[in-house]
């Protein structure tokens, strides 16, 4: 009986560690993509933190469609509309605005 409890606790610990690791990895990937897109380190960090907190992993995967050369804000907005997920659009644009102005950190 005690072995089962230990195994269950170990499994819960491993699952918790995986969840935290996945969350940290997603934040790192989003921040790196924003930096590659030409955003400042401060804005990239702020946006990545907000986006990872508010979007699911599936929604973050949809944002990979934005990778590539987008030289103008208009090009970014057109690409963002192609994601076709209102929540992703809302969180991304709000994060960009709030982080750029300095309201969110």
Return averaged pLDDT per consecutive 10 residues of the chain, 105 residues in all.
Answer: 83 80 80 82 89 88 72 70 84 87 79
What pLDDT score does 96 carry? 85
Helix 41-54 and helix 86-101, axial crossing angle in degrees, nearest 10: 150
Structure tokens at 22: 């996945």
Structure tokens at 77: 């907005």
Query: Looking at the 3D structure of the chain, how many domains does it have?
Result: 1
d(CA 3, CA 8): 9
Domain containing residue 25: 2-101
Q: Which residue has the tokens 């969110």?
A: 104
d(CA 51, CA 30): 8
Residue 83 has φ and ψ, to the nearest 5°, of -65, -30
What pLDDT score does 50 carry? 92
């Amino acid at each position: 009986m005690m072995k089962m409890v230990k195994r269950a606790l170990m499994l819960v610990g491993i699952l918790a560690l995986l969840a935290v690791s996945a969350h940290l990895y997603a934040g790192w990937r989003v921040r790196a993509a924003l930096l590659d897109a030409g955003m400042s380190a401060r804005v990239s960090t702020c946006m990545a933190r907000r986006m990872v907190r508010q979007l699911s992993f599936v929604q973050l995967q949809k944002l990979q469609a934005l990778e590539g050369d987008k030289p103008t804000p208009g090009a970014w907005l057109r690409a963002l509309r192609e994601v076709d997920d209102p929540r992703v659009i809302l969180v991304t644009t709000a994060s960009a605005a709030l982080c750029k102005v300095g309201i969110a950190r």
